[in-house]
């Protein structure tokens, strides 16, 4: 029991067919890789999928979980409300994870629908969850999902929280998958969403190299100035996911990396060796 597979997925809404249309051709490598990774997830005997997103309710002092039996979301913010998703949650797991987190002085904040509205959110699933979910559902993965939002905590605490995800799965005798949803640098070329920084490419190369070589704890030691120059949104979800893999012999499979719009999109599967 515990983590059986993990992954890293980018989350550009344009790779959703209704959103991206013909623009999807420019990220075909990413789409193909997500289709491949999703099939690998679907081939595992899983009870639960945990996602880590940077686009939900993000707090400075804790990590957020959605307190709802049914989770809904759509892409109306991107002009296509007809692209919508609905999945079941697994609140018993959230309660065990919260218990273990509090025992280790890490705050896990449960948010109901009213809480979400107070933070300006009208749905439970953000695009950081829905983009990879689209491809997982296409691969016929039908599982309860626990969507977690990263916290702005120090990297060591996030890594320790990841360990607690695996611990909680084992306590409940569950086989789980964990997926870090995150784009890498947003500053890879002039005209990129967060502007251009010539050092941004160095961040992506460094992070990818560490992931490929399974030097996971080195990710926590990456240069803070370089991270700041990258303008990334995926590092914290990645660190939580790597923490969940701490006790395992892991083989990384970097499926693709591309940046046609100045944002780094990496797809990587983390396979657990028996």
pTM: 0.97
pLDDT at 249: 97
Distance CA 82, CA 99 (A): 38
Q: Give the tens place of pLDDT for each residue, 44-89.
A: 999 999 999 999 999 999 999 999 999 999 999 999 999 999 999 9
Tens-place pLDDT, residues 148-177: 999 999 999 999 999 999 999 999 999 999
Range of the domain at 263: 2-272
| Number of C-beta neighbours around residue 166 at 10 A | 22
**C-alpha pair distances (Å), 104 with each of 64, 100, 158, 250:** 16, 6, 12, 25
pLDDT value at position 193?
Answer: 87
Q: At what angle do helices 155-171 and 91-103 cross, to 10 degrees?
A: 130
pLDDT at 232 exceeding the cut of 80 = yes
Task: Report the CATH number at residue 137.
Answer: 3.40.830.10
pLDDT value at 274 more than 90 = no
pLDDT tier for residue 94 given thresholds of 50, 70 and 90: very high
Q: What is the pLDDT of residue 145?
A: 98
CB-neighbour burial class of residue 134 (10 A; exposed 0-12, middle 13-18, buried 19+)? buried
pLDDT in tens, 181-228: 999 999 999 999 899 999 999 999 999 999 999 999 999 999 999 999
What is the model's pLDDT at position 250? 98
And the tokens for 61? 């002092």
- In this prediction, residues 103-132 reach a mean pLDDT of 94
What is the domain count for the chain?
Answer: 1
Residue 237 contacts residue 52 (beta carbons within 8 Å):
yes
Tell me how crowded residue 10 is: count the other CB atoms within 10 A of its CB: 27
């Amino acid at each position: 029991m515990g983590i059986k597979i993990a992954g890293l997925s980018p989350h550009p809404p344009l790779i959703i067919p209704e959103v991206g249309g013909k623009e999807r051709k420019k990220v075909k490598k990413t789409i193909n890789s997500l289709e491949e990774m999703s099939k690998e997830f679907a081939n595992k005997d899983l009870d639960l999928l945990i996602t880590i997103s940077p686009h939900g309710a993000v707090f400075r002092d804790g990590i957020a979980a959605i307190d709802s039996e049914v989770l809904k979301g759509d892409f109306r913010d991107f002009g296509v409300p007809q692209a919508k998703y609905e999945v079941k949650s697994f609140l018993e797991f959230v309660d065990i994870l919260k218990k273990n987190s509090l025992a280790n002085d890490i705050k896990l904040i449960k948010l109901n629908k009213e809480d979400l509205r107070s933070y300006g959110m009208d749905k439970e699933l953000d695009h950081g969850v829905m983009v990879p979910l689209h491809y997982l559902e296409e691969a016929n993965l039908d599982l309860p999902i626990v969507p977690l939002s990263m916290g702005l905590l120090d990297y060591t605490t996030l890594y320790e929280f990841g360990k607690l995800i695996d611990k909680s799965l084992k306590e409940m005798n569950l086989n789980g998958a964990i997926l870090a949803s995150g784009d890498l640098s947003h500053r890879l070329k002039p005209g990129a969403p967060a502007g251009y920084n010539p050092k941004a490419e160095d961040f992506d190369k460094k992070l990818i190299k560490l992931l490929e070589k399974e030097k996971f704890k080195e990710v926590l030691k990456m240069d803070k100035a370089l991270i700041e120059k990258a303008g990334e949104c995926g590092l914290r979800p990645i660190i939580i996911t790597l923490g969940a893999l701490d006790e395992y012999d892991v083989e990384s499979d970097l499926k693709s990396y591309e940046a046609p719009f100045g944002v780094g999109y990496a797809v990587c599967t983390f396979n657990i060796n028996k």
